[in-house]
A and B are shown apart, each in its own frame.
Chain A
Amino acid sequence: ETGVTQTPRHLVMGMTNKKSLKCEQHLGHNAMYWYKQSAKKPLELMFVYNFKEQTENNSVPSRFSPECPNSSHLFLHLHTLQPEDSALYLCASSQNFGPGSSYNEQFFGPGTRLTVL
């Protein structure tokens, strides 16, 4: 479907569990993103990695912890989540051209549907 894959596609977890979401892009891009999409709300940017460096943390609670080991892989580690964290989590990638440059088109993965019980 696209050059961005996400696993797992569906995840159900309890509030005390620890789990990780994985994203991989096969497009040679240098920027990767995590978004949260809740029902009836706009897409919320969570984290941005440019050239493997975190350049944006959009006031995300510490129970969400991103990791970007290389420019192709992005993880979102989850622990002690709340029921209101249930949402579709989308990963995206793009090719950016350095600080201050405009954002190009982003390529999205299919998302992970997360349910927190």
Chain B
Amino acid sequence: SQQGEEDPQALSIQEGENATMNCSYKTSINNLQWYRQNSGRGLVHLILIRSNEREKHSGRLRVTLDTSKKSSSLLITASRAADTASYFCATDARQGGKLIFGQGTELSVKP
């Protein structure tokens, strides 16, 4: 089974609201990364959080990591229509030596 799984699979909110996406994984990790993908395009790296970090911020993004629960969350505050995209978590497992992506959360922000 896959390493990273996002929840929810789809999320629809109004502009200005906050969006929270969750990621769960199964094995110990070196780091966890979040990416965004606009429809049919390449992925864009958003933020990387290492296993010894608990929280990280970048602009309107806030990522938390709970290694005891093997989970991470991505919070986008004051969302904009331009935030509409798919968001993926990717885990760098300590054993396995590769970055494994989850299925993603489709976020729709309505103006």
* A and B are interacting partners: yes
Residues on A facing B (Cβ under 8 Å): 1-2, 4, 40-43, 45, 48, 56, 58, 88, 90, 92, 100, 102-111, 113
Of B11-19, B38-46, B72-80, the one contacting chain A is B38-46
Tell me which of A45, A56, A92, A105 has the highest count of chain B C-beta atoms within 10 A of its own C-beta: A105
Q: Dominant SS at the A interface?
A: loop
Q: Dominant SS at the B interface?
A: strand
B100 touches A45 (CB 8 A): yes
Q: How far is the CB of A23 from chain B (nearest CB, A)?
A: 11
A105 touches B42 (CB 8 A): no
A113 touches B2 (CB 8 A): no
Q: How many Å lie between the Cα of A105 and that of B102 in the bound state?
A: 16
B99 touches A41 (CB 8 A): no
Q: For A103, give its contact among B2, B41, B99 (CB under 8 Å).
A: B99
Residues on B facing A (Cβ under 8 Å): 2, 4, 30-31, 33, 35, 40-45, 48, 50, 88, 92, 97-104
A111 touches B98 (CB 8 A): no
Give 15 pairs: A residue, B residue, CB < 8 Å, sorted on A: A4-B42, A42-B4, A42-B100, A43-B43, A56-B97, A90-B43, A102-B30, A102-B31, A102-B50, A102-B92, A105-B48, A106-B99, A107-B45, A108-B44, A110-B42
Known contacts: A102-B30, A103-B92. The answer to whether A45 contacts B98 by CB under 8 A is yes
